[in-house]
Structure 1
Amino acid sequence: MNSMNELKAIALAHGGIIETKTASERGVSKSMLYKLCKENKIHRIAQGQYIFPDELQDELLSISKRSDQIVFSHETALFLHGISDRTPFEHTVTAPTGCTPSQSIKAECKVYHIKPELFDLGRTTLTTPAGNIVPAYDLERTICDMIRSRNKVGTETFLAALKLYAAHPKKDLNKLNTYAKQMRVAKVLRQYLEVLL
């Protein structure tokens, strides 16, 4: 069995990322990964994650593979929905209260926490610019998150998101209203939408 061929197959099936656990399931040991890394045949991008030197790293995919307890939210979700023209300076994720994301996630992302019962509200999957699928919140949930965190995200970002949402052809105001009630931001939402719609 050729380790490089195994790793190429893994990379192909997993958006370019080779994870230690997947590699060992396919018979490529940690020590072999370490050896290939030293030989510059693969590059380590995070703990337990490698890519081939000629591959472009999909940061969002790399982050999402580090924990199933995080969902892309706020500015990153707006970006993935195509509602924000700016690539976020720092990625934003939401985790359930009581879950502490790893150091590597905290080093690269702004982490918000929410009650576990609201964690899956509006959870969906979106495609990264590199064409990989990652967990993120739908548009309506993202707008509610922006309202909840309006003091942290900044007025300009928050208002720009609301304006773009109000003009969005696929907006679902009924769903937005339902989420807003569950997340207790319905009153604030109404004040802003009356001005925009």
Structure 2
Amino acid sequence: MLSRLCKLGQLERIAQGQYIFPDELEDELLSLSLRFDGIVFSHETALYLHGISDRVPFEHSLTTSSNCVPPAAILKECNVYYIKPELLSLGKIRIPSPAGNLIPAYDVDRTICDVIRSRNRMGTETFLYAIRAYANLPEKRLDRLAEYAEAMNISGVVKHYMEVLL
């Protein structure tokens, strides 16, 4: 029935098992989050969702547990970061996508920890912009940033960057 509706132009297939009406806009982030339950939007994508990035990411970044393997389509479409299973839910929130649907992402403090932890995999310009923008945020939670950094074993590096900027 679904293939028949697609042929008639009444539905559009956006991914395996996911369809939208032709007059609707696809929410790419919601679609990705529904394809694999064990992902959290992070790094450049989370920076964008929190409004502390000056550009829309070309490829979405997500984090998953080191003992999980996302589907091949997600691996091909996204930058995938892996973390210990016990740290996957640290700082995880539900945030509205640009289309207004709630999706899993990391809060801004955890995002900065991820950015610092993965600074060698990110562009220098994106990294520096994110760190400076975070330092200027009035709603930053330095206590939570320190807690996350301690859990992720990067407290010395985080402290170094924050001392320089604050």
Q: TM-score, normalised by structure 2?
A: 0.98
1:24-39 → structure 2 map (5 Å cutoff): 32-39=1-8
Provide the aligned C-alpha RMSD in A.
0.8
How far apart are the structure 1 equivalents of 2:160 and 2:133? 16
Cα distance in 1 for residues equivalent to 2:153 and 2:132: 21
* 1:193 equivalent in alignment to 2:162: yes
Unmatched tracts of structure 2, length 5 or more: none
Query: How many matched pairs?
Result: 166
Which digits, 9 at most, give the CA deviation of each residue in 1:126-160, with x for residues without a partner? Answer: 11111110000001110000011000012211111
- Give secondary structure in 2 for the equivalent of 1:105: helix
State which structure, 1 or 2, has the greater radius of gyration over its C-alpha atoms: 1
Corresponding residue for 1:19? none
Is the contact between residue 46 and residue 104 of structure 1 (CA under 8 Å) also seen in structure 2?
no
1:156 aligns with 2:154: no
- The whole-number CA distance in structure 2 between the counterparts of 1:105 and 1:55 is 22
Instruction: Judge conservation of contact 1:91–1:109 (CA < 8 Å) in 2.
Output: yes
Q: SS at 1:134's partner residue?
A: strand
Alignment TM-score, normalising by the size of structure 1: 0.83
Q: 2:11 aligns with which of 42, 53, 59?
A: 42
**Paired AA for residue 155 in structure 1:** T
- For residues 7-39 of structure 1, give each alpha carbon's deviation from its aligned partner in whole angstroms, at most 9, with x where no partner exists: xxxxxxxxxxxxxxxxxxxxxxxxx11110111
Q: What is the percent sequence identity of the aligned residues? A: 61
Q: CA deviation at 1:47?
A: 0.7
The structure with higher relative contact order (CA 8 Å, sep 6+) is: 2
Q: 1:102 aligns with which of 61, 65, 71?
A: 71
